[in-house]
Amino acid sequence: MSRLSYGHRVELHSNSAAKALLSLMERKKTNLCVSVDVTSKASFLTIIDAVGPDVCLVKTHIDIIEDFDQDLITKLQELSAKHDFLIFEDRKFADIGNTVALQYSQGVHKIASWAHITNAHPVPGPGIIAGLGSVGHPLGRGLLLLSEMSTKGNLATGLYTESAVEMARQNRDFVIGFIAMSRDSLHQKEKDDSEDFLILTPGVGLDTYGDTMGQQYKTPYEVVFNRGCDVIIVGRGIYGDGKNIDISSVQTQAKRFRQEGWNAYLKRIDG
Ligand code: S5P
């Protein structure tokens, strides 16, 4: 499955967010998602405008923005239209269905109203998909399950990962794929040729192997070519520590990761 082009895989999905993302990657020729983990509205929007031409997806942690307001969402949507990228709120929902439905739709951030894609930990069981789906599915949103994590010592392995894949298989209209470190968990159990999940992979770097808090980095080549993942998620590798942002360096790094990710993908589909 991972040898098919992004464009060919559009038809294998019924979910509109999955279709939109695959079409966009094919059209724009990028599998780079930038994770914009900065805390001020100004830096957030500046980085997104700078990397916008090179990304298929912008990943947000909207709850870390100190001066969040509705205007930030309006501006984020304007940048999404200007540069042609989708928005992924990395909310990592992890509660019972009823609670996550409220967290997804209500409160200050009203995530479902602007994020094309969000994600959830499978730990509560299928009720979390039912809760999020009751809000997101009618809006054409897509959900990713965290079936694996990038950090040292994480517990999302073995049976946990396999169970996450099974939960996704029961909900393919809304669960479009996984946050995972490789395609292996799917290959072993792939049931039929029409099954296609997106694999989005964080913990991607080119110049460092990790941080002091358990993060572990792999190269875009390792992730996309060797491990069959679809989207590389890069944060600090592009904008450093988020202080004193140097826009030309942010743009240079974004282009560098984009090129590495795309070349690895071309080599993969070339077989
Ligand atoms: O297992 C994970 C899952 C996620 S979504 N490991 C991760 O690092 N992430 C997210 O990816 C994390 O929350 C952060 O926003 C981003 C990685 O950032 P970086 O600066 O280390 O590239």
d(CA 83, CA 51): 9
Query: Six-digit token pair at 68?
Result: 């969040």
Query: Which of the four pLDDT bands, split at 50, 70 and 90, describes residue 262?
Result: very high
Query: Which of the four pLDDT bands, split at 50, 70 and 90, describes residue 191?
Result: low
Cα-only R_g, the chain: 17
The pLDDT, as a whole number, for residue 242 is: 84
φ/ψ of 194, rounded to 5, equals -85, -5
202 Cα: distance to centroid of ligand 1 (angstroms): 5
The pLDDT, as a whole number, for residue 97 is: 98
Pocket test for ligand 1, best of 201, 233, 253, 257 (most atoms within 8 A of CB): 233
Pocket test for ligand 1, best of 35, 65, 92, 178 (most atoms within 8 A of CB): 35
pLDDT at 189 over 60: no
The pLDDT, as a whole number, for residue 192 is: 58
* Residues 85-115 as b or e (16 or more Cβ within 10 Å = b): bbbbbbbebebebeebbebbbeeebebbebb
pLDDT in tens, 7-38: 999 999 999 999 999 999 999 999 999 999 99
Q: Whose CA is nearest to atom 4 of ligand 1?
A: 202
Computed over every residue of the chain, the mean pLDDT equals 96
pTM over 0.85: yes
For each of the domains in the chain, give its residue range(s) and CATH number, in order of start: 6-238+246-269 (3.20.20.70)
Q: Whose CA is nearest to atom 3 of ligand 1?
A: 149
In the structure, which protein residues have their CB atom closer than 6 angstroms to any atom of ligand 1? 35, 37, 61, 90, 149-151, 179, 202-203, 215, 233-237
pLDDT in tens, 138-166: 999 999 999 999 999 999 999 999 999 99
Compute CA distances 30 → 83, 132, 192, 261, whole Å.
12, 28, 27, 8
203 Cα: distance to centroid of ligand 1 (angstroms): 6
